Amino acid sequence: MINLTKLNLESNMFDGTVPAELGNLVNLQYFNLNSNNFTGELPKELLNNLINLREVRLSSNSFTGKLPSFQSWKQLQILELEASGFEGPIPSSISLLRNLTELRITDLNGGVASNFPPLEGMTEMQKLMLRSCNISGSIPGYLGNLPLTKLDLSYNRLEGNVTPLEAARQLRWMDFAECLKNTPCTGNRYSVHINCGGGEVTIGKTTYEADESPGDAAEFVHHVSYWGFSSTGWFWDSSNTDYIAKNVSVLKMNYSQLYTTARLSPLSLTYYGRCLANGNYTVTLHFAEIIFRDNASYRSLGRRLFDIYIQDKLAWKDFDIEGAAEGVDKEKVLNLTNVAVTNHTVEIRFYWAGKGTRVVPTRGTYGPLISAISVVSTMDKSCEIVAILYSVGTLLDGSVIAVKQLSSKSKQGNREFVNEIGMISGLQHPNLVRLYGCCVERNQLLLVYEYMENNSLARALFGECQLNLDWPTRLRICIGIARGLAFLHEESILKIVHRDIKGTNVLLDGDLNPKISDFGLAKLSEDENTHISTRIAGTIGYMAPEYALWGYLTDKADIYSFGVVALEIVAGKDNMKYRSNGNYVCLLDWALVLRQKGCLMDLVDPKLGSNFNKEEAMRMTKVALLCTNPSPALRPTMSAVVSMLEGKLGIEELVNNPRVYGDDFRFVALRDKYDELQLQSSTEVDALMDHTGTGSSSTSAKDLYPRNLYSL
């Protein structure tokens, strides 16, 4: 058919390679292979012989090889190559196509960045789309001289400003990317439910909030502080301005209220939930194809393909609603579990990468379609409470606070108590929980703290509400605790010794920054200000031997406790609950044995897999063992600990004394006593432990620790 001038094979699902014989159609002016499954390279016969082409569309195919130069197609006016499958970069020879009025190239394969293509000679260019083409550098100044009306340069690596476009007087629409905006949060949420494109719907006990904004080519919607969406994209080749799809059929699926409407976007649509408590969540996405039909007409031939990103990571590639649901008007629910929220925000992005059909049932029908979204915390219900000992409140200015009630056993009067709290509240450090003040009413003593969203380190590491703490976060937490203690020991006027450093007394804020709590409280009930304490305030498994047995208190007792906590951070295990077998009484015991065997890396939490810095893990473990030296004089200062953890100071060799660390009975007496305590009733344990809010022991240390423990 050598006289053929127009060939349109769009949306026929042809596969295989393009026949070389098409190169004989030398009079061809219009050539459209959009939305098929063609593979391989374009035959050289087409590239060399079809010199009369005016319009070429090769989008949504699976071609291979480098993007051709098309240098023989000098009469070309429109070139469309959206998601064609070709590899980048855009060849510089494209500058020979000086008659182009419209150029659309998107989603090039290959990750090699390239400079902006030389288009300055295309003085007739009106529509330019170079999306996801790995273009780097700045926007060239000549773009302002072209008669552009539409411009899409989104999802590249461009930098700099857009001042060159100020001269483009005819430019009516341009797209660079989408952005999300933040607004202040008050408190934490644990779920978000959205009926995308529809009104409020209640299904069972779950209410899906309304999302009825009409949408636009570039819109940011944020009606409430804790969720919103950002949409970008314009329906090319179409006058379609509908960004909400409506189903006019009779739905027979479950929860049909969620599928009468859906949010639609021609390019990118991002929903985000904010003000979420950090932790793991399950993201549930509800889909139904409500535009395509399943009858015998061409309306059934549409294919909708788009990508789904969760937290900026590709979760599903080329997702096809109709294919996944096995038909139209059928629900398809996708669940993604263990989605980590670390900055109070979850982002769910639907991106059209140029694939699928775009003319069925009408031109401009394509892009992602979403019916409803649920984001639900996988944490236990009790995780929503800041802590058992705390209640959450709000000040008049909206600040969220935590209120803690103390025992009224202090021998001090209310005035002395307030004065003491005043001095403690004056201590401010990034790694100390801020004590705002107190309330005193007769024998009721209340402390007012800053609100800590992520509860305690103990709960995050090995409690019922564990968080996904990667290695950099664990190292940052450990260094933060060390800095807080160093401040208490060396920089504060009060020279406070905490006495009860443990995982439950280290709280985590919304960004997982560690803050030491309850510092200075034990001092409120002291009779004398001496280094000998007649009342032991501490917890079994964390107290230094010299303090537990003889009441000898210095800041070196805190350093011992810190060492135990550091081991817990490395191992992800509770020191006093780790009993791998009868030979080990606690985590510290196991660590000492591993050190003797030369396999300290076995201590690292298996949940980290191989994704951790082995050098940093070894350094932290050695510092922890150095801090738990049985001799207070051989423990480092907290300022030295900070320097060692940061790698600024070398770690002195640990004392390797077989008599100290090699005795098979090193913790036997303590283990037996611990087992005895575990067998006692809760009433008996309560009689031993003084629940003043500090978790301290009012029983004589000699009753809790065997006398020969000091031989450690």
Selected catalytic residue, list 107, 307, 500, 558:
500
Is pLDDT of 651 > 50?
yes
Helix or strand or coil: residue 439?
Answer: strand
| Rg for the chain, CA atoms, rounded | 34
132 shares its domain with 79? yes
User: Looking at the domain assignment, is residue 50 inside a domain?
Assistant: yes
437 shares its domain with 469? no
Torsion of CA 12, 14, 17, 20, to 10 degrees: -50
* Structure confidence by residue, pLDDT tens digits, 577-619: 876 666 778 899 999 999 999 999 999 999 898 888 999 999 9
Question: Which domain, by its residues, includes 528?
Answer: 456-653
User: Looking at the domain assignment, is residue 289 inside a domain?
Assistant: yes
472 shares its domain with 592? yes
* Structure confidence by residue, pLDDT tens digits, 169-224: 788 878 776 566 566 666 678 899 999 999 999 988 889 999 999 988 888 888 78
32 shares its domain with 92? yes
Q: Alpha carbon 569 to chain centroid distance?
A: 20
480 shares its domain with 610? yes
Strand partners, 152: 129, 175
* Structure confidence by residue, pLDDT tens digits, 29-60: 999 999 999 999 999 999 999 999 999 999 99
| For range 545-566, the mean pLDDT | 87
Q: Any idea what the CATH number is for the domain that residue 396 is in? A: 3.30.200.20
Is pLDDT of 693 > 70?
no
Q: How many angstroms separate the Cα of 236 from the Cα of each of 100, 132, 154, 359?
A: 17, 17, 15, 11
20 shares its domain with 138? yes
* Structure confidence by residue, pLDDT tens digits, 700-711: 333 333 333 333
308 shares its domain with 417? no
124 shares its domain with 207? no
Is pLDDT of 158 > 50?
yes
Last residue of a domain, one of 635, 653, 671: 653
> For the chain, how many structural domains are there in total?
4
Helix or strand or coil: residue 418?
Answer: helix
In this structure, the strands spanning 506-508 and 514-516 are antiparallel
Does residue 135 contact residue 157 with C-beta atoms inside 8 Å? yes
Task: Quote the CA–CA distance of 498 and 480 in Å, as a whole number.
Answer: 15
Task: Quote the CA–CA distance of 173 and 150 in Å, as a whole number.
Answer: 5
Q: Alpha carbon 476 to chain centroid distance?
A: 17
Query: What pTM, to 2 d.p., does this model score?
Result: 0.60
With 0-12 / 13-18 / 19 or more C-beta atoms within 10 angstroms meaning exposed / middle / buried, residue 231 is buried
With 0-12 / 13-18 / 19 or more C-beta atoms within 10 angstroms meaning exposed / middle / buried, residue 159 is exposed
Task: Quote the CA–CA distance of 329 and 114 in Å, as a whole number.
Answer: 43
Q: How many residues are given for the chain? A: 712
Task: Spell out the residues 6+ positions from residue 68 whose beta carbon is closer than 8 angstroms to its own.
Answer: 42, 47, 86, 91
Q: What pLDDT, on the 0 to 100 scale, is given for residue 51? A: 96
User: Looking at the domain assignment, is residue 688 inside a domain?
Assistant: no
Is 675 a catalytic site residue? no
Q: How many angstroms separate the Cα of 128 from the Cα of each of 7, 102, 179, 235, 354?
A: 24, 6, 22, 14, 15
Task: Quote the CA–CA distance of 285 and 273 in Å, as a whole number.
Answer: 14
Task: Quote the CA–CA distance of 457 and 84 in Å, as a whole number.
Answer: 50
With 0-12 / 13-18 / 19 or more C-beta atoms within 10 angstroms meaning exposed / middle / buried, residue 104 is buried
* Structure confidence by residue, pLDDT tens digits, 218-252: 888 887 888 999 998 888 888 777 899 998 675 66
Residue type, 563: G
Q: Any idea what the CATH number is for the domain that residue 135 is in? A: 3.80.10.10
Does residue 329 contact residue 247 with C-beta atoms inside 8 Å? yes
Interior angle at CA 166, CA 161 and CA 172, nearest 5: 110
Q: What pLDDT, on the 0 to 100 scale, is given for residue 111? A: 74
371 shares its domain with 396? no
Is pLDDT of 282 > 80?
yes
Tokens of 134: 């790995």
571 shares its domain with 644? yes
Tokens of 281: 């969540």
Torsion of CA 365, 367, 373, 379, to 10 degrees: 160
Last residue of a domain, one of 377, 398, 422: 377
User: Looking at the domain assignment, is residue 184 inside a domain?
Assistant: no
User: Looking at the domain assignment, is residue 672 inside a domain?
Assistant: no
User: Looking at the domain assignment, is residue 684 inside a domain?
Assistant: no
Residue type, 330: K
Tokens 């050598």 sit on residue: 2
